[in-house]
Structure 1
Amino acid sequence: MTIIMILIADSLVFAPHSQHSQHDEDYPSQLLATEYDYIIIGGGTSGLTVGDRLTEGGKHSLLVLEYGYFDTQVNMAPRRMFNITSEMQPNLRNRTFQVGIGCVVGGSSIVNGQVFLRGSKPEYDAWKELGGPNSTWDWNGLLPYFRKGITLSPPDPEISAEFNMSYNSKYYGKDARVYATFSGGRPEPFMKNLYNAMAKMPGMTIPEDSGSGEAGLYWYPISQDGTEFKRSSSRTGHWDGLNRANYEMLTGAKVNKINFNSDKKAISVQFISRNDSTVPPVTTKARKQVILAAGSIHTPQILLQSGIGPAKLLKEYNISVVEDLPGVGSNFQDHSYIPQIAYKWGITPNGSLPKRQDRNPWGKSVPPTLAAMIGMPVVSPEKYEALSKAFENQDPASHLPATYTKDQIEGYKQQQKVYSKLFREKNMQWNEMMMFGPGGSIQNLHPLSRGLVLPPKNDLNAEMTVDYRAATNAIDVDVMVEIIKFMRRYMTESDLKVWAPEELSPGVAVTSDNALKDWARDMINPSVYHPVGTAAKMPREWGGVVDEELAVHGLKDLTIVDASIMPTLIGATTSMTVYACAEKAADIIKAKTGW
């Protein structure tokens, strides 16, 4: 086998499993092969999952090219995060926001808050409606991969009985090394009061499990193992301890081009050192496939650098057009939230109160956590129909980016058609309320605005610009107002009213819809660090970028497997769904490449 020598600074490090070390960046200089069966760009949640599955059995060689480094520590910190600030958001008082994505082996599964949730059935079924003929991307098509990808550690039986923790292991597997656990802590006694009050809210349902695809009130697991209660990530589940000679990784590698032959088949990947400009570019061949797993922010960049994207934009950067796909970098979505609707108790409740500061999501002390994940008919029984009709009758061109083509506008119209129905769907997780004490945070899980992730002017190699275009569809603010009202009803009209809750923020003086909208625009953050959609799985004639097999339209042997393929958001944290999509993608790739 032909080999090439990589010049190693502190920035480009080869990590074969045979010499895998647990010490940060303690990997020796090694030789790198000039070709592999598969090359995966990105060693995050999806990349390592697919890498694990394609190297099972030892028959096929695979290289992961990862921009970040190995880091045994966890949590959000500059060392493990990309340093990206969004564009100013005119409809949110010209504020800018941190774009929180992992920059480390394991990707965002290393740095996230470990909240491990699934969307509801209608949200995944929407992907099928937005797909091509005979699509299998729906709840039934993904459930086997949720089972394959995640092992559940049930809660303590005594705690489960005391706090009504409903769960069912049939929605999970038994063999995966990625874990969902209810952790080793015990909820504060007052959580029973919060639970019981929410359970009596009109229209509320109690699903049998947080992973059953049903909206409602439930306790949910976090991504920790059930023994030592340590973070469970794609690194711990799909890299550490595997020790496969055919599964290799290069860290500190910045991919800047995918190469194609005359048949538009992906044949090789070019990369440079992340930090050392003296290291010359390296090209490595892929015999079977190139697999793109760089995430919703950087997958569009690599596509554009490779000549895949809007032809007009590529020509501005003097990039030869390999495939004109206007949807690259468009259709950008993220969950939005208001950090706190604040209350205090006028009368101190009996029993101990939950202490927010004790709920450390990265230690053993975290108890099982409670959330209300509910649809718009429950959030706003009086207005959800009017909101649905208003959205149904909108002209998409009135609020979409001016760069959208007719095909992209048609794609949004198809989303509009689906979401107009889902506005009326009770079993649709549109609002997330994390329940800790009086008041709390609220989320709009299905914003209707669409953003852009594009390179800065004059420099395709610089960090991408991220524009949420938040609240460009004004209905997003209307929805947030209805969620605020739901919180008010829960705090003042439910069983909690016996403790005389007093609203601190936005405050009882803020009463009219217009006043609430004005307050919300000051408070809304357009990102919960769940970016999706920038290489959407939709038909090409709807502005899609990948087909039902996640192959890039018009090209051969280039597959995208990360969250950028999601055509619409799911009403949950995205990590568990990324695992399931990656498991499904691995089976698709195996079938296509004669694995």
Structure 2
Amino acid sequence: MQDTEYHGRGGPLSVEDKRWWSPLLPAFLNAGRELGYKVIDPNGPEQTGFSVADMTQHGGERSGVSEGYLKRATQRPNLHVVSKAHVTKIIFDKNKRATGVRFLHRGKIRTVSARREVVLSAGAVGSPQLLMVSGVGPAEHLTQHNIPVIADVPGVGENLQDHPSIFGLTFTVKQGSGTDILQLANPVNVKDYIRNRRGPLTSPTAVEGNAWSVNESGEDDPQWPDLQYLFMSGTPFSDWGIYIVDVLGFRRDFFNEYFGSLLGSLGFNIGPMLTRPKSRGTIRLQSSDPQRPPLIDPNFLSHPDDVKTFVRGIKFVLAIGNTSSLRVDHEAKFHDKHLPGCERERYGTDDYWSCYTRQMAQTTYHPCCTLKMAPSSDPLAVVDHRLRMRAVSGVRVVDASIMPDIVSGNLNAPVIMVGEKAADIIKEDWGQGS
């Protein structure tokens, strides 16, 4: 890890350099150099360039908020953690003030009262759902589900944003260059991890490097990347479709038709991801029952600029794979089979890549912004600058839903920062000092 002013020391979370990488990672970085990009520190002063993926780890193990924060606080007499519980409602009095929460635990409904406030941290999907089943949200939508309206707040569940990405831009390589995901659990690698905390098991499912590029149209801030590229030494076919079918939900018949000829081959995948998407989605209820999942409509690619940016990103991926560092040194070859569903478009044209984008784009699991922080003049405002809900009292929201717009980086660290800042705000507001 570079020792610069951009890296903190001694905090509750640990960030480490990778402890293992495939032979393809140096080639990926060199490909960036061939294209005129710097190899950068992704947490440094600039983000446009190519980099090794930093890990939120300590000693080769995951460094998370449970270990970094919760474990330290478990002995506090004023902290009680109830696991395997499902909150079903925030309780409000006649003055629209939150007085507690109701939750289901071990088959029984229980109630906890709040003397000061309720802190809502159910995430960008769960927080708006809980507010709506509690009577806070768009009045017309609540009425449709026979939920008594406590407060008409049109912005609850609106403004859903995510980082859509494309998984499937795949290259094959020569033997000895790629990584077979299924080999990560072989006895040699398991032994190396158990004894030394080294080897491929220290690397999260093949993500080895990143790159960032800006919008070539020059319409936006050139210092703010529009696209992130996830470099993975594994491929959709090196694990025989386990990830792309069972995790991402692609149909098995589609997988067999498009990737079937490559089963068992080695290669790499580069996934472009929009860091500044313009499309906006919604969270809505399918029922007044808090245990039923809400309706999530990401509305991906509804803004035409998102498709255009993805097309530019796909072309950049092809340029990376065509560098001598990958094409010559590792015999990288793009899987150029015509995508099922795009047969009417001529291969390689912008129309074809637009069709490819609409067929292959997916979530990167970075939902946010569904209870946006905004001034009261904004019709979709839900919380103020102190994270307090505007239409009701006694509720403070502390999660990714409060973001007005999605950040261009991945959401793990920013959401933790929201929690850190919220803790300071709460202590200030209740006179607790630091």
1:246 aligns with 2:82: no
User: Using the alignment, how far apart are the partners of 1:516 and 1:297 within structure 2?
Assistant: 31
Q: Which of 180, 184, 195 in structure 1 is aligned with 2:29?
A: 195
Paired residues of 1:201 and 1:494 also in contact (CA < 8 A): no
Paired residues of 1:215 and 1:429 also in contact (CA < 8 A): no
User: Using the alignment, how far apart are the partners of 1:320 and 1:458 within structure 2?
Assistant: 10
Change (3 A) 1:585 1:510: same
User: Using the alignment, how far apart are the partners of 1:489 and 1:563 within structure 2?
Assistant: 34
Q: Deviations over 1:97-141 (max 9, x none)?
A: xxxxxxxxxxxxxxxxxxxxxxxxxxxxxxxxxxxxxxxxxxxxx
User: Using the alignment, how far apart are the partners of 2:336 and 2:361 within structure 1?
Assistant: 13
Change (3 A) 1:458 1:186: closer
The DSSP-based 3-state class of the residue aligned with 1:581 is: helix
User: Using the alignment, how far apart are the partners of 1:434 and 1:572 within structure 2?
Assistant: 16
Q: What residue in structure 1 maps to residue 278 of structure 2?
A: 448
Q: What residue in structure 1 maps to residue 370 of structure 2?
A: 534
Paired residues of 2:21 and 2:208 also in contact (CA < 8 A): no
Paired residues of 1:254 and 1:272 also in contact (CA < 8 A): yes
Change (3 A) 1:189 1:426: same
Q: Deviations over 1:262-306 (max 9, x none)?
A: 443322222223x62xx2x32222122210001111101111122
Q: Which of 251, 260, 266 in structure 1 is aligned with 2:98?
A: 266
Q: What residue in structure 1 maps to residue 311 of structure 2?
A: 481
Q: Which of 411, 422, 425 in structure 2 is aligned with 1:588?
A: 425
Q: Which of 197, 207, 213 in structure 2 is aligned with 1:375?
A: 213
The DSSP-based 3-state class of the residue aligned with 1:484 is: helix
User: Using the alignment, how far apart are the partners of 1:480 and 1:356 within structure 2?
Assistant: 28
Change (3 A) 1:212 1:586: farther
Change (3 A) 1:175 1:506: same
Paired residues of 2:153 and 2:391 also in contact (CA < 8 A): no
Q: What residue in structure 2 maps to residue 170 of structure 1?
A: 5
Kindly report which structure 2 residues correspond to 1:118-129, keeping only aligned pairs within 5 A, or say none: none
Cα-Cα RMSD: 2.8
Q: What residue in structure 2 maps to residue 559 of structure 1?
A: 396
Q: Deviations over 1:353-405 (max 9, x none)?
A: 2425266899642367643332333xxx3xx24xx4xxxxxxxxxxxxxxxxx
Kindly report which structure 2 residues correspond to 1:121-520, keeping only aligned pairs within 5 A, or say none: 154=1, 167-183=2-18, 185-202=19-36, 204-210=37-43, 212=45, 214-226=47-59, 229-242=60-73, 243-273=75-105, 276=107, 279=108, 281-345=109-173, 348=174, 353-357=177-181, 364=197, 365-366=199-200, 370-377=208-215, 381=216, 384-385=217-218, 388=219, 421-422=220-221, 425-436=222-233, 438-457=268-287, 459=289, 461-493=291-323, 495-499=325-329, 501-505=332-336, 510-520=347-357
Change (3 A) 1:170 1:359: farther
User: Using the alignment, how far apart are the partners of 1:376 and 1:439 within structure 2?
Assistant: 20
- Given residue 515 of structure 1, which amino acid in structure 2 is its aligned partner? Y
Q: What residue in structure 1 maps to residue 236 of structure 2?
A: none
- Given residue 177 of structure 2, which amino acid in structure 1 is its aligned partner? L
- Given residue 265 of structure 1, which amino acid in structure 2 is its aligned partner? R
Paired residues of 2:133 and 2:288 also in contact (CA < 8 A): no
Deviation, 1:198, is 0.8
User: Using the alignment, how far apart are the partners of 2:58 and 2:314 within structure 1?
Assistant: 35
Q: What residue in structure 2 maps to residue 57 of structure 1?
A: none
Q: What residue in structure 2 maps to residue 4 of structure 1?
A: none
Paired residues of 1:206 and 1:217 also in contact (CA < 8 A): yes
Paired residues of 2:48 and 2:214 also in contact (CA < 8 A): no
- Given residue 270 of structure 2, which amino acid in structure 1 is its aligned partner? G
- Given residue 20 of structure 2, which amino acid in structure 1 is its aligned partner? R
Deviation, 1:461, is 5.0
Paired residues of 2:118 and 2:395 also in contact (CA < 8 A): yes
- Given residue 306 of structure 1, which amino acid in structure 2 is its aligned partner? S
The DSSP-based 3-state class of the residue aligned with 2:427 is: helix
Paired residues of 1:546 and 1:552 also in contact (CA < 8 A): yes
Identity of aligned residues (%): 26
User: Using the alignment, how far apart are the partners of 1:354 and 1:528 within structure 2?
Assistant: 23
Q: Deviations over 1:487-532 (max 9, x none)?
A: 111222554343453221456972111112122222222x111111
User: Using the alignment, how far apart are the partners of 1:198 and 1:255 within structure 2?
Assistant: 48
Deviation, 1:464, is 0.8
1:568 aligns with 2:405: yes
Q: Deviations over 1:17-56 (max 9, x none)?
A: xxxxxxxxxxxxxxxxxxxxxxxxxxxxxxxxxxxxxxxx
Q: What residue in structure 1 maps to residue 382 of structure 2?
A: 545
Deviation, 1:586, is 0.8
Q: Unpaired runs of 5+ in structure 1?
A: 1-153, 155-166, 389-420
Q: What residue in structure 2 maps to residue 139 of structure 1?
A: none
Deviation, 1:561, is 0.6
Q: Deviations over 1:329-353 (max 9, x none)?
A: 11112221221212234xx59xx52
Q: What residue in structure 2 maps to residue 36 of structure 1?
A: none
Change (3 A) 1:359 1:474: farther
**Residue correspondences, number:** 376
Q: What residue in structure 1 maps to residue 260 of structure 2?
A: none
Change (3 A) 1:255 1:344: closer
User: Using the alignment, how far apart are the partners of 1:299 and 1:241 within structure 2?
Assistant: 26
TM-score after normalising by structure 2: 0.78
User: Using the alignment, how far apart are the partners of 2:294 and 2:269 within structure 1?
Assistant: 36
User: Using the alignment, how far apart are the partners of 1:335 and 1:594 within structure 2?
Assistant: 38
Q: What residue in structure 2 maps to residue 396 of structure 1?
A: none
- Given residue 536 of structure 1, which amino acid in structure 2 is its aligned partner? K
Change (3 A) 1:376 1:562: same
Q: Deviations over 1:141-179 (max 9, x none)?
A: xxxxxxxxxxxxx3xxxxxxxxxxxx2353343333322
Q: Deviations over 1:437-476 (max 9, x none)?
A: 6542222233222111111056565221111122222322
Q: Deviations over 1:391-437 (max 9, x none)?
A: xxxxxxxxxxxxxxxxxxxxxxxxxxxxxx34xx2432522232536
- Given residue 179 of structure 1, which amino acid in structure 2 is its aligned partner? S
Q: What residue in structure 2 maps to residue 80 of structure 1?
A: none
Paired residues of 1:168 and 1:209 also in contact (CA < 8 A): no
Q: Deviations over 1:214-252 (max 9, x none)?
A: 3322223222213xx222222111222532222111122
Deviation, 1:328, is 0.6
The DSSP-based 3-state class of the residue aligned with 1:256 is: strand
